[in-house]
Chains A and B, each alone.
Chain A
Amino acid sequence: MKKSLILLVVALMLVLAACGSTTKKESGADKDAVAKKPEKSEVNLYTSRHYDVDNELYKKFEQETGIKVNVIKDEADVLIERIKREGTATKADLLLTADVGRLYRAKEEGLLQTVSSDILSKQIPEKLRDVDDMWVGLTKRARILVYNKDKVKPEELSTYEALTEDQWKNRVLVRSSESVYNQSLLASFIEINGEEKAKEWAQGIVNNFAQNPEGGDRDQAKAIAAGIGDIAIMNSYYFGQMLNSQEPEEVKVAENLGVFFPNQETTGTHVNISGAGVIKGSKNADNALKLLEFLTGEEAQGEFASANYEFPVNHNVAPSELLKSWGEFKEQDIPLSTLGENNAKAIMIFNEVGWK
């Protein structure tokens, strides 16, 4: 019994190990025939972006180049931890994240390598690339204000900072501090206004909470419609998705709300990026670079913009009609890596002021 058990386990091990490597075999099916090098044929992605449009783009890339895109999706920090532990043996070639703070973290851990090409520098503005060329931006999102058109006049709105004033008491809606988007927002204030002022701001917002933070970004907009508060801080692309939701009630909610880009006269609206960096020791670095060039090219950027209501990083690509209708806006002018640098500080401030 025990012997057969052990045999069974060993057999299972082998079968499973074989299963896992079939992807590799399939992708390199022509390897034996033509004796091609494996790095010609694939690129391995660890990504925390989980949108259908991404998969469509990978497929398109495969068709155009013949390079197979293999994907593992999870939260960025978990992926980073896996790469760290795999060390130089890692199969990962490219790390994609939905937030620049995580790219900064990967870079600090020494997991990324420099990557640059003429095409990349042409397609992505310098501001959205790492100073050491360790990562590049793929798309932009703005953290905007949406408000109840019946109760708030746009003239009353000006800056994120103004939301801490007394007239907004019990009227401000925002999700919990666990959201990386809130962490990046506060991190940007730490950079621009200093830690003291940033803490005062967080405290001021907590004082003006319409309710304890709960739910996601879309729930904040719905809470305005439900009359719980009058103004919410949320990501631009969630608002775009609500306007185009399959649920007519969600569309109705969004249509009754106004969009406001804060800090236009002062420091600019907070912008975060999703981006990517090539892993140090990548065995398919050339393919990874090709994929980056493809994803920041005009075709892919157009898809990102229209399918997901993200702002393109490529200047030659216009944002979707909806985003265009919101008009041009002034962005924060700080190095994006500071969002990563100040992330831990931001968390501590959130905890100290009791922003759940």
Chain B
Amino acid sequence: MNKHLANVNGWTIGAVLIIILLFLPNVSIVTGVFSPASENWTHIKEFMLLNYIKSSLTLVFFTALFTIAIGLSLAWLIAQYDFPLRNFMKWALILPLSIPPFIGAYTYHGIINYTGVIQKTLRNHFDVTPNPAYFDIMNVPGAIFIYTLFLYPYVYMITRIFLSHQSASLIESARTLGKGPLEIFFRVVIPISRVSIIGGASLVVLEVLNDYGVVKYFGIQTFSTAIFQTWFGLGDLDAAIKLAASLMGIVIFILVIERLLRGGKQFSYSTTKVRPLPLVRLKGRKAVFATLYTLVIFSVAFLIPILQLIDWVILTFGKVPMHDVLFYTKNSVIVAGLGAFLIIVFSLVVGNFSRVVNHKFAKILPKLTVLGYSIPGVVVAVAVITTFIALDRFLAPVYQYFGMDSELVLSVSLFMLISAYVIRFFAIGYNSIESGFDKIGTDFRDASRMLGANSLRTFFKIDVPMMKGAIISGFILVFVDILKEIPLTLILRPFNYDTLATKAFQYASDEKIMEASQASLLIVGVSTIAIFVFHKLLREEPK
């Protein structure tokens, strides 16, 4: 018994330590709520807050709705049915995630605006000049469209893995009981995959809340616009942080709701044999419909924007300096790989702690780390800079001892950037790992412990292999997310450390979307390779 306790404490200490480290920089933001209101506050409240919150909520609500509809329906199709192109679509439907939403926004606007391919073809070849109002996506519905296209894979990916690896016995039972596909979908699939759906959708919601690129370009005023107007426009960073802190408040509220929605329901493995769901082969019209549906989503969310980007790369070929491309690509891969690796390791420690220590506190605590994901990256960046400069000051005697001539060491190194990634994207990795732990429950672990294996051995021999899917999908999600991350990378990188994302931003922010296409396409290329490789790994997962 003593040994048991000691082990639990080991995990606890590790997990709590990680959570504290992740949460530390956010403290300076949270305390912002209590800072006294500045003279600008009345102005902000009167002219900015109400309308901005309204449009933020509209964006969040509809994006969540549509991403769930698309993500879940795709996950269900792929998990249960076999139809032409299914094996390709299985992983290709994740690819839209590799396109940063703001690049997607620029690209779609580029396709349909007055000088875009659609209107110019109509004009020059068919002599039709359509009403430009039909081609305006720079509004709230347009932003919902963009977010839905490029964020639905969060829901799709997490839900699909859940459905194909876990639901077999439940769905088969329903099938044997003679339930039709629709009934199974609504009475079985939706209830059992609720955790995954909410997990994926909450990532989408956070991503929409913290996005600034799309809404700025489209001229939509949202909560993050208010934060930036207050900081950049009014020059009042304190008030901006106060706003960011209120945003965190909203997010905490959402998280509590999510917890309540999840309730105490558990659907972990019910048998020792984890079998994938046997596929039902679709025939005739149904097969055509399934293929068509996945094809349409894939084209709109990936193929069409990619073709446009390729077109632009060709158009600007030779006009954009290319000599350093390899350097940027290498930098991108290094930071994304390191960041993703650390996040998965930390997530495993925290996730195991949360599972083993069966206490409400242990369930809620890791959720706090999501906070960093809810507010615009730049605000997080300021918090990270503050923390690291303090750390450098604290370590100054050590630096002197080693004869370093600089006062700033950590805060001018890659270490700061990688740490910031971990703080920001921990939620993404953790979500995946958590649903993996949810899935396997504690029965196998308990059995292993009862048979005398210690906590560590059990973890590596039993838990990790069973969670391979969750680990891999968590890694890809984080890797791809870091690859396209911009605000943190811009300000926290060491001198001269350009990445693909910073290059794409450099051009796009100056309205040179054609010149930005080269770097954007490379981001997509690297992500595609990563997603493909991991797809292969996933397939070799023990059946």
Interface residues of A (CB under 8 A from B): 1-2, 5, 9, 12-13, 16-21, 23, 38, 44, 50-52, 55, 70-75, 77-79, 81-82, 85-87, 89-91, 105, 175-176, 178, 180, 183, 212-219, 222-223, 225-228, 238, 241, 245-247, 249-250, 252-253, 343-344, 347-348, 351-352, 356
The 8 Å CB contact of B506, one of A9, A23, A50, is A50
The 8 Å CB contact of A78, one of B235, B381, B407, B494, is B381
> Which segment of B169-177, B197-205, B410-418 sits at the interface?
B410-418
B residues 411-428 with Cβ under 8 Å of A?
A: 411-415, 418
Which residue of chain A has the shortest Cβ distance to B129 in the bound complex? Answer: A227
Closest CB in chain B relative to A250 CB, distance in Å: 5
The 8 Å CB contact of B490, one of A74, A226, A228, is A74
Closest CB in chain A relative to B191 CB, distance in Å: 37
**How far, in angstroms, from A247 to B116 measured CA to CA in the complex?**
9
Closest CB in chain B relative to A148 CB, distance in Å: 13
Is A17's CB under 8 angstroms from B415's CB?
Answer: yes
Is B219's CB under 8 angstroms from A213's CB?
Answer: yes
CB-defined interface of B360-401 with A at 8 Å, one 1/0 digit per residue? 000000000000000000100110011001001000000000
Enumerate chain A residues within 8 angstroms of B119, measured Cβ to Cβ: 226
The 8 Å CB contact of B114, one of A9, A85, A253, is A253
Is A52's CB under 8 angstroms from B321's CB?
Answer: yes
Is B491's CB under 8 angstroms from A82's CB?
Answer: yes
Is B409's CB under 8 angstroms from A17's CB?
Answer: yes
Interface of A, secondary structure class, is helix
Which residue of chain A has the shortest Cβ distance to B349 in the bound complex? Answer: A5
The 8 Å CB contact of A81, one of B382, B505, B512, is B382
Enumerate chain A residues within 8 angstroms of B540, measured Cβ to Cβ: none
| CB-CB nearest 9 A-B residue pairs | A20-B413, A249-B115, A70-B495, A226-B132, A214-B138, A89-B407, A351-B47, A347-B233, A16-B415
Q: Contacts A70-B496, A75-B232: A85 and B392 contacting too (C-beta < 8 A)?
A: no
Enumerate chain B residues within 8 angstroms of A50, measured Cβ to Cβ: 505-507, 509-510
The 8 Å CB contact of A351, one of B10, B48, B216, is B48
Closest CB in chain A relative to B497 CB, distance in Å: 8
Is A44's CB under 8 angstroms from B113's CB?
Answer: no
**How far, in angstroms, from A246 to B110 measured CA to CA in the complex?**
13
Closest CB in chain B relative to A104 CB, distance in Å: 10
Closest CB in chain B relative to A108 CB, distance in Å: 9
Of the A-B pairs whose beta carbons lie under 8 Å apart in the complex, a sample of 11, sorted by A's number, is A1-B459, A2-B10, A16-B415, A85-B386, A89-B389, A89-B407, A175-B219, A222-B113, A247-B115, A250-B115, A344-B235
Closest CB in chain A relative to B507 CB, distance in Å: 8
Is B233's CB under 8 angstroms from A19's CB?
Answer: no
The answer, yes or no, to whether B299 is at the interface (CB within 8 Å) is no
Chain B interface residue count: which class?
Answer: 35 or more
> Which segment of B94-102, B182-190, B221-229, B439-447 sits at the interface?
B221-229
Enumerate chain A residues within 8 angstroms of B408, measured Cβ to Cβ: 86, 89-91
Enumerate chain B residues within 8 angstroms of A44, measured Cβ to Cβ: 495
Which residue of chain B has the shortest Cβ distance to A98 in the bound complex? Answer: B510
The answer, yes or no, to whether B472 is at the interface (CB within 8 Å) is no
Enumerate chain B residues within 8 angstroms of A238, measured Cβ to Cβ: 511
Enumerate chain A residues within 8 angstroms of B91, measured Cβ to Cβ: none
Which residue of chain B has the shortest Cβ distance to A176 in the bound complex? Answer: B219
The answer, yes or no, to whether B90 is at the interface (CB within 8 Å) is no
**How far, in angstroms, from A216 to B106 measured CA to CA in the complex?**
11
The 8 Å CB contact of A17, one of B10, B217, B413, is B413
**How far, in angstroms, from A250 to B408 measured CA to CA in the complex?**
47
Enumerate chain B residues within 8 angstroms of A71, measured Cβ to Cβ: 495-496
Q: Contacts A20-B494, A77-B232: A253 and B115 contacting too (C-beta < 8 A)?
A: yes
Is A82's CB under 8 angstroms from B495's CB?
Answer: no
Is A246's CB under 8 angstroms from B491's CB?
Answer: no
Enumerate chain A residues within 8 angstroms of B490, measured Cβ to Cβ: 72-75, 78
Q: Contacts A78-B378, A219-B113: A214 and B218 contacting too (C-beta < 8 A)?
A: yes
The answer, yes or no, to whether B139 is at the interface (CB within 8 Å) is yes
Enumerate chain A residues within 8 angstroms of B381, measured Cβ to Cβ: 78
**How far, in angstroms, from A247 to B514 measured CA to CA in the complex?**
9
**How far, in angstroms, from A180 to B216 measured CA to CA in the complex?**
12
**How far, in angstroms, from A90 to B139 measured CA to CA in the complex?**
41
Which residue of chain B has the shortest Cβ distance to A254 in the bound complex? Answer: B115
**How far, in angstroms, from A274 to B43 measured CA to CA in the complex?**
30
Is B43's CB under 8 angstroms from A20's CB?
Answer: no
The answer, yes or no, to whether B316 is at the interface (CB within 8 Å) is yes
The 8 Å CB contact of A343, one of B113, B235, B495, is B235
Which residue of chain A has the shortest Cβ distance to B233 in the bound complex? Answer: A347
Q: Contacts A72-B495, A222-B113, A343-B235: A249 and B120 contacting too (C-beta < 8 A)?
A: yes
Enumerate chain A residues within 8 angstroms of B136, measured Cβ to Cβ: 214
Enumerate chain A residues within 8 angstroms of B320, measured Cβ to Cβ: 52
**How far, in angstroms, from A253 to B382 measured CA to CA in the complex?**
41
Enumerate chain B residues within 8 angstroms of A176, measured Cβ to Cβ: 219
The answer, yes or no, to whether B237 is at the interface (CB within 8 Å) is yes
Which residue of chain A has the shortest Cβ distance to B218 in the bound complex? Answer: A214
Enumerate chain A residues within 8 angstroms of B502, measured Cβ to Cβ: 73
Enumerate chain A residues within 8 angstroms of B449, measured Cβ to Cβ: none
The 8 Å CB contact of B414, one of A16, A38, A222, A352, is A16
Closest CB in chain A relative to B513 CB, distance in Å: 9
Enumerate chain B residues within 8 angstroms of A75, measured Cβ to Cβ: 232, 378, 490
Enumerate chain A residues within 8 angstroms of B414, measured Cβ to Cβ: 16-17, 19-20
Q: Contacts A222-B113, A253-B114, A348-B43: A20 and B349 contacting too (C-beta < 8 A)?
A: no
Closest CB in chain B relative to A102 CB, distance in Å: 9
